[in-house]
């Protein structure tokens, strides 16, 4: 769906947002990586800025993403933007988040952001979703590509962000240090802790790491070192099948299995 700006939203949606934020004084549309969310903007109000994202409720994929973001929000307060409100009005579903003043992470070799990200990922691993937590298992996203045995190798009870593209990793100044804020939990799943690092591998390559350097970086995480080879192979099979139309992408995934 084409991206919309604030004034294009139905009146009822805008009033519902303003009933939370107060009058909107300025708006800035945000261009996103996937470009799949109909409305993404930073709104300036009398009391500061708010980040808003959403889509018509008929967009079932977007609705599922908002559901996961809402569900996960209370578990990730230490390292995510705070969820301020959920607005469902006039056929739209929007989430309002506290605005993160900062930029996207630089994950290129030697960047200091990598160290901050590593610390935050260790923190993510400490989250223990309650029994019956309604996130889908990682393996569900590859049901059509993987056998039952492969899927069972991807089972686990850890919270996995599952979309650590650098645009979803933000950094803000916190006193004298910098702090990672992981945004966009819309693709979050339950899985083994190591799956987060497997997913990050591709973004390390995209950010300029050689496969050797990226694998060495992942080696700092005990959960990654303990992952079974069969499990990683199943992950690579799923990720590769998903990008079957891009042989280049598939070739990159294959290097995760090199020694
Ligand atoms: N709370 C926030 N404060 C400020 N900027 C934010 C906030 N959350 C996200 N952003 C910025 O806006 C961009 C888009 O947000 P987000 O990723 O949540 O939207 P999305 O529609 O899911 O994007 P995509 O289609 O790329 O997955 C992010 O890449 C990030 O740079
Ligand atoms: Mg995003």
End-to-end C-alpha distance for the chain, whole angstroms? 42
| Distance separating alpha carbons of residues 183 and 170, to the nearest angstrom | 7
Residue 33 CA, ligand 2 centroid: distance in Å: 6
| Distance separating alpha carbons of residues 155 and 149, to the nearest angstrom | 10
**CA atoms within 13 Å, Cβ hemisphere of 153:** 17
**Average pLDDT score, the chain:** 96
DSSP alpha helix (H) spans, the chain: 11-21, 60-72, 113-126, 148-152, 194-206, 211-218, 222-225, 229-242, 247-254
| Distance separating alpha carbons of residues 156 and 125, to the nearest angstrom | 12
Using CA of residue 4, residue 80, residue 104, residue 171, what is the dihedral sign? Answer: positive
Q: Return the ligand number nearest the Cα of 81.
A: 1
97 phi and psi, to 5 degrees? -120, 155
Residue 183 CA, ligand 1 centroid: distance in Å: 6
Contact 82, 182 (CB under 8 A): no
Pocket of ligand 1 (CB under 6 A): 30, 32-37, 40, 51, 53, 81, 97, 99-100, 104, 167-168, 170, 183-184, 186
Residues of the chain with pLDDT under 50: none
| pLDDT score recorded for residue 1 | 66
Residue 32 CA, ligand 2 centroid: distance in Å: 6
Span 42-85, pLDDT tens digits: 999 999 999 999 999 999 999 999 999 999 999 999 999 999 99
Domains and CATH numbers, the chain: 6-98 (3.30.200.20), 102-257 (3.90.1200)
DSSP code of 33? S
High-pLDDT (> 70) share of the chain, %:
100
**Structure tokens, 41:** 């903007």
Q: How many helices (H) and strands (E) does the chain have?
A: 9, 10
Q: pTM of the entire structure?
A: 0.96
73 phi and psi, to 5 degrees? -45, -45
Q: Which candidate, 207, 30, 210, 191, places its Cα nearest to that of 113?
A: 207
| pLDDT score recorded for residue 6 | 96
Q: Which candidate, 173, 1, 193, 190, places its Cα nearest to that of 102?
A: 173
| pLDDT score recorded for residue 233 | 98
Residue 151 CA, ligand 2 centroid: distance in Å: 26
| pLDDT score recorded for residue 34 | 73
């Amino acid at each position: 769906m084409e991206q919309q700006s604030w004034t294009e939203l139905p009146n009822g949606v805008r009033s519902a947002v303003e009933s939370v934020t107060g009058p909107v004084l300025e708006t800035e549309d945000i261009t996103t990586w996937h470009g799949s969310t109909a409305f993404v903007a930073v709104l300036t109000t009398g009391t500061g800025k708010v980040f808003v994202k959403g889509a018509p409720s008929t967009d079932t994929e977007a609705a599922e993403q908002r559901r996961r973001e809402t569900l996960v929000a209370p578990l990730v307060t230490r390292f995510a933007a705070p969820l301020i409100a959920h607005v469902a009005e006039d056929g739209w579903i929007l989430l309002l988040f506290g605005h993160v003043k900062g930029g996207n992470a630089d994950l290129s070799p030697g960047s200091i952001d990598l160290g901050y990200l590593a610390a935050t990922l260790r923190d993510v691993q400490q989250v223990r979703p309650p029994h019956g937590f309604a996130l889908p298992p990682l393996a569900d996203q590859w049901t059509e590509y993987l056998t039952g045995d492969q899927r069972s190798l991807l089972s686990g009870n850890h919270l996995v962000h599952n979309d650590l593209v650098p645009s979803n990793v933000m950094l803000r100044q916190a006193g004298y240090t910098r702090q990672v804020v992981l945004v966009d939990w819309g693709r979050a799943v339950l899985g083994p802790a190591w799956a987060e690092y497997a997913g990050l591998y591709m973004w390390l390559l995209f950010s300029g790491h050689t496969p050797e350097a990226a694998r060495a970086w992942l080696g700092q995480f005990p959960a990654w070192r303990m992952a079974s080879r069969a499990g990683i192979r199943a992950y690579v099979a799923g990720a590769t099948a998903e990008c079957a139309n891009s042989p280049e992408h598939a070739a990159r995934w294959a290097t995760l299995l090199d020694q």
